[in-house]
Structure 1
Amino acid sequence: MRKGEQAALAVSGAEFAVRVTPRARVASCVLEGGVWRIAVGAPPEDGRANAAVAEVLAHALGVAKGRLVLVRGATSREKRFRLE
C-alpha cells in the first residue's frame, strides 16, 4: 500500500478495528469491510508486533505513527487504534 493511500480516513478521533497476523512471511495491509487486516513479520513479543502494526497503519493513513494510540487489544489479534 502506498503512503497515504487511505488519507481520507485520517480524521482526528477516528478509531480503526485491526485484525493482526504476526510472524507473516509477506507483510500486507488491506481494508476489508471496515476492518484493517494487517500482516507483519514481527513476533508478538515485547510489543514488537504492536509497534509494527502501528507503523504500517500510520503509513497507510499518511500520518505519523506517534498519532496512533492502541486503545484495546494489546495481547490480542483483534485491536483497536485511535488517531489522536
Structure 2
Amino acid sequence: MDNDELKDIVKEAVGGVRLSCRVQPKASRNAIAGIHGGALKIALCAPPVDGKANEALCRFLAELFDLPKSAISIATGEKGRSKSVAISGANTEKIMNALLRIP
C-alpha cells in the first residue's frame, strides 16, 4: 500500500474519518488483505450472520488504530460486503500512518 492508494480509501469527514472497506467474512484469520476495487480489503473470521462480521470489523479496526471500539461504526453497507466505516476521534494522517505500517 502507498499514500496515493490510501488517499482514495481514507477520507476526512465531519467529526473524523471515513474508510472504504470490502469485507471478506469467514476467513481463516482477521487481517488486512490489501486494496481491492478502491477499498481496503479486510478478511474476518466472523460469519456474516446477525451482525457478527460488523462487530468483528469494528473491534479489529479499533485495535488496529488504537482507538476505543465506540469510535468505530458502520456508516453505510451494514448488510453488504462493501462498507463505509466512520471513525471518530482520529484524522486521516493517523489512519493512513497505521495502514502504512502494515507489512
Partner in structure 2 of residue 64 of structure 1: 68
**Which AA in structure 1 matches 2:54?**
N
Larger Rg: 2
TM norm structure 2: 0.64
> Matched residue pairs, number?
75
Partner in structure 2 of residue 24 of structure 1: 27
- More helix as a share of residues: 2
Task: Assess if the C-alpha contact under 8 Å between 2:33 and 2:43 holds in 1.
Answer: no
| Distance change >3 Å, CA 68–CA 21, structure 1 → 2 | same
* Aligned-pair CA distance for 1:37: 1.4
**Which AA in structure 2 matches 1:45?**
V
Task: Assess if the C-alpha contact under 8 Å between 1:29 and 1:56 holds in 2.
Answer: no
Task: Assess if the C-alpha contact under 8 Å between 2:30 and 2:60 holds in 1.
Answer: no
Q: Unaligned stretches of 5+ in structure 2? A: 1-9, 89-103
TM norm structure 1: 0.76
Partner in structure 1 of residue 84 of structure 2: 80
